[in-house]
Structure 1
Amino acid sequence: MSFFGNQSNWQLRSLKEIATLKRGYDLPTKLRTAGKVPIYAANGQNGSHNEAKIKGPGVITGRSGTIGKVHYTSTDYWPLNTSLYVTNFHGNDPKWVFYMLKAFQLERFVEGAGVPTLNRNLVHDELIPLPPLDEQKRIAAILDKADTIRRKRQQAIQLADDFLRSVFLDMFGDPVTWNKNDIAKGWTVKPIEEISLLKRGYDLPKQSRLEGNIPIYAANGITGTHNEFKVKGPGVITGRSGTIGKVIYSENDFWPLNTALYVTNFYGNNPKYIEWYLRFLNLERYVQGAGVPTLNRNLFLKEVSAVPPKAEQDRFEVICKLVSQLIFKNLDFNKKELFNSLSQKAFAGEL
């Protein structure tokens, strides 16, 4: 049985018969000479050298440390010994192999309690539906286009983020520097817990989740969907344990997990403004715990902060919406065919 479905009834082959993985080669920093040959470690390009070890095109992934990332290079390269590289494509299309390994979720095969390590012997015996070469090239071309859209969207999101950050500073200043003495704008001064009250999310085991379109939020963002919401949108979510400092805005109803905190009371403030207000507070400053980082909300909820007039908050939200419409007008990617979903369909023979 394969991790991928096999709707087209392609022949099943073991991974080692499709793309044989081999450990990379040591190259200490002191032995590297300036050049144009990219050096690949487990997490991607890690410098350059004047000598290639492997001819391109190449596909590289992590062997130890960072597991699950897959990298493609069209040029000759040097794979380090923290990586695995495809030493034999067995006549298959390298770009198809690259996308296949990305969709295959290699992090499922991690071993080791200390430094995560990918056991290639486990991976090599996994069965993969193998389409004909022409079909491989067609799939790779489709995913190339989809990936281009995805990267453009990421760039657009970053562009919008940078712009709105500067707008917020121009309109309100930096919340970290606000205090009773330096605000001469007539703004209200309150404890943070009376501006945006944060509450711990709710448990929802994976086995209890039912198919639906309600986003589930963990500390680092969406981690699945459910058929029932716990909190009505719009809402603001941030990390309680694990990932700290990321602040997320949800326009729609959602379910916040217990690794997250969500704003349970906006006290009449604009939720979009509160999202950016919390982002500027640098919540990672309030982390406690030597093991799993944990946000101690009691440390900052009692702090005093200023509240700009609601009309100004609403004006900021209008700017946010206009920027979003302007930037994403030509970059809207069908949510039902997000890149990861599209990849799964491709390698199951459903495209």
Structure 2
Amino acid sequence: MTFRTARLSEICDINPKIPKSLDDSALASFLPMAAVSEEGRIAFEEERTVAEVKKGYTYFERGDVLVAKITPCFENGKASRTFSLSKPFGFGSTEFHVLRVANDVLPDFLFYKIWNSSFRELGAQNMTGSAGQKRVPADFLKRLEIRLPPLEEQRRIAAILDKADALRRKRKSALDLLENTKNSFVEFALRKASSGKTEALGEYLDFITSGGRNWSKYYSPEGSRFIRSLDVQMNSISHEDPVYVAAPENAEARRTRTHKGDVLLTVTGSRIGRVAELPADLIGSYVSQHVAILRPTLAKLRPKFLSFFLSSREGQRQIQKWQYGQTKPGLNFKQIEGFLIPKISVNQQVRFEEIAERFEGSLSVQRDHCRRLTSLFSSLQSRAFSGQL
């Protein structure tokens, strides 16, 4: 199906001005950046008088489409329709672009056009400004060309994407509920088993280290597995796009070679806090500088229990509390050794693992369903805007 092509500036008013007729005493909806979720929804709204916000904030009206302009909010997908606003107009963060459609464009259709990975990748490539303060300029939006089908076709496409997105959200809600149930049960079970007693993790470790730097020079088509931070998932190690090394015969290689019973923890960057027991098929592998090896005293601490605990809500709370650095967070060995873990027997740890594994099995099924629905949604978006839906 062939659609006509139009620039966004031809079918939208981009960042429209505030009407001069607004009454200063009138109540307006107010949306800080946090109010717009990465799931394409308005999570909450506040209420302000026009006088409070008419200067220094972005104006919009019910029915407009909002999209974040600043990094990393833009790349993370912060955008939303505004039909749910309680007031007919509102104000929000200056880091929003506002799109107000003309009569031949549906807001729902436009929203899905700008709320997808392809648009975000293109927008990120056209950002201006310095690192940490990069923004998508209004000129990029004005020049952006889109295929514009007739209104009825826009309505059909938006309805299909609404249904697919609703299914995806419903499955994610079920996953979140199960995750919360697991966390609550785990916390209750551990408190009961330990009577609230804890001990520093360092008392249960025989060894702790992290990988060496600049191991890319050892990359090889075959050899020993090299585990990077992106390979460490919560309670599992990914085998997607694996890297191998021809490890040297030196002290660093001997120090960073993994053993049976090791637990791997990511200690720097955006993926900090991912943790997994080393599986048997990866014994003898090596780790990057962003991954720590925790080697528990097996007579006192089971690796699987340690992994499950550090991945729990309480474990993650401690990781978030003790990490240092803002632009590139990290954990040092002293902080890791200071984590407080429940003081319970090895037999109690085994029973805890059995419960946690049952939850993880159900969560794994739910996560797989979520991935499938997200993939379906992305595929439908791609087909919709290429005239193939």
TM range (shorter): 0.5 to 0.7
Aligned residue identity for 1:296: N
Is the Cα contact below 8 Å between 2:113 and 2:385 reproduced in 1?
yes
Tell me, what secondary structure is at the counterpart of 2:199?
coil
Q: What corresponds to 1:97 in structure 2?
A: 110
1:151 matched to 2:205: no
Aligned residue number for residue 134 of structure 2? 116
State which structure, 1 or 2, has the greater radius of gyration over its C-alpha atoms: 2
Q: Give the secondary structure class of the aligned counterpart of 1:85.
A: strand
1:129 equivalent in structure 2? 147
Amino acid at match of 1:126: L
Give the distance between the partners of 2:275 and 2:160, measured in 1 at CA: 31
Partner of 1:183: none
Deviation per residue, 1:90-142 (Å, 9 max, x gap): 51111010111111114443322263332010232122232332222222112
Q: Give per-residue Cα distances to partners, 1:11-59, cap 9 Å, x unaligned.
A: 3322222434215659xxxx776x4x43234453652246796543221
Choose the corresponding residue for 1:82, options 95, 101, 112.
95
Q: Which runs of 5+ in 1 are unaligned?
A: 1-7, 181-188, 209-214
Return closer, same or farther for 1:320/1:277 CA change in 2, 3 Å cut-off.
Answer: same
Deviation per residue, 1:130-170 (Å, 9 max, x gap):
23322222221122122222222332232222211221122
- Measured against aligned partners, the alpha-carbon deviations of 1:38-97 in whole angstroms (never above 9, x if no partner) come to 323445365224679654322112245743521111153224343221133351111010
Asked whether 1:40 is paired with 2:31, we answer yes
- CA distance 1:97–1:316, shift in 2 (3 Å): same
Contact 1:149 1:333 in 2 (8 A): no
Distance 1:199 1:168, change over 3 A: farther
| Contact kept in structure 2, 1:60 and 1:79, CA below 8 Å | no
1:275 and 2:308 equivalent? yes
Q: What TM-score, normalized by structure 2, do the two folds share?
A: 0.62
Report which of the two has the higher share of helix. Answer: 2
Segments of 5+ residues of structure 2 without an aligned counterpart are 37-43, 220-227, 245-257
**Cα 1:287–1:321, aligned 2, differ >3 Å: closer, same or farther?**
closer
Secondary structure of the structure 1 residue equivalent to 2:230: strand
- Determine which structure has the larger strand proportion and give its number: 1
1:300 alignment partner, one of 303, 321, 336: 336
Partners of 1:204 and 1:137 in 2: CA distance: 53
Deviates more, 1:310-319 or 1:137-146: 310-319
Taking only aligned residues, the RMSD between alpha carbons, in angstroms, comes to 4.9
Relative to the length of structure 1, the TM-score reads 0.67
C-alpha separation in 1, matches of 2:287 and 2:102: 42
Q: Which residue of structure 1 aligns with residue 66 of structure 2?
A: 60
Count of residues in Structure 1 that have an aligned counterpart in Structure 2? 318
How far apart in 1 are the matches of 2:100 and 2:340? 60
* Offset, 1:339: 3.5
- CA offset digits 1:226-271 (Å, max 9, x no partner): 543679xxx9875433336543669999999968537676769364
Mapped to 2, the partners of 1:147 and 1:204 lie a distance apart of 42
Residues 46/25 of structure 1: CA separation in 2 closer, same or farther (3 Å cut) = farther
CA–CA distance in structure 1, aligned partners of residues 278 and 156 of structure 2: 37
